[in-house]
Amino acid sequence: MAVPTPTRSATVERPTHELEIVAELTDAWRSRALAILRIAAGVAFTLHGTQKLFGFPQMDQPSPELFSLLGLAGVLEAFGGPLVALGFFTRPVAAVLCVEMAIAYAMVHLPQGIYPMLNGGEPALLFGIIFLYLSVAGGGAWSLDRRDSPA
């Protein structure tokens, strides 16, 4: 006598275990959380560039000359920040900005001491790590890079 094989229900099974529910939520929000990180970092980075180039927000020292290392940093920040925030050419722009932050940390902050919280290099270090991650992970949800690619 043949034993009947169980058939799968046409309905989707809902997770019952709490960890499975958390895993589903995490998967659903992974790309959105990446996009939130990208947008926040891009906007904050843009403000660093506009401060160097245009004195907005106001800073204690005068704006640097455009054709100097600090001026170049301002250009990269003022124009690279919005590109990152919009998610347009995210990977290559983030890679360039990561290199900029590594150079800034090595040239400006490291000579003042090894500890980032004492040498003022925490923003450069954190932005550098964020841009390194974005150069590998891409822009996530809500990026202009994704508009032509299949989701």
Dump pLDDT digits (tens) for 116-151: 999 999 999 999 999 999 999 999 999 999 875 554
Supply angle C-alpha 39, 28, 20, rounded to 5. 140
Spatial CA neighbour of 34 closest among 123, 126, 143: 143
**Per-domain boundaries in the chain:** 27-144
**Cβ atoms of 11 and 50 closer than 8 Å:** no
Residue 99 has pLDDT above 60, yes or no: yes
The per-residue pLDDT of the chain, averaged, comes to 90
Structure tokens at 47: 């403000």
**Cβ atoms of 69 and 119 closer than 8 Å:** no
Q: What is the pTM of this model?
A: 0.82
pLDDT at position 92? 98
> Residue 80: phi, psi to the nearest 5?
-75, -35
- Other beta carbons within 10 Å of 47: 14
Dump pLDDT digits (tens) for 58-78: 888 888 898 999 999 999 999
Q: How does DSSP classify residue 142? A: T
pLDDT at position 54? 93
- Dihedral over alpha carbons 72, 73, 74, 77 (to 10 degrees): 130
**Cβ atoms of 80 and 93 closer than 8 Å:** yes
> Cα 94 to the chain's mean position, in Å?
8
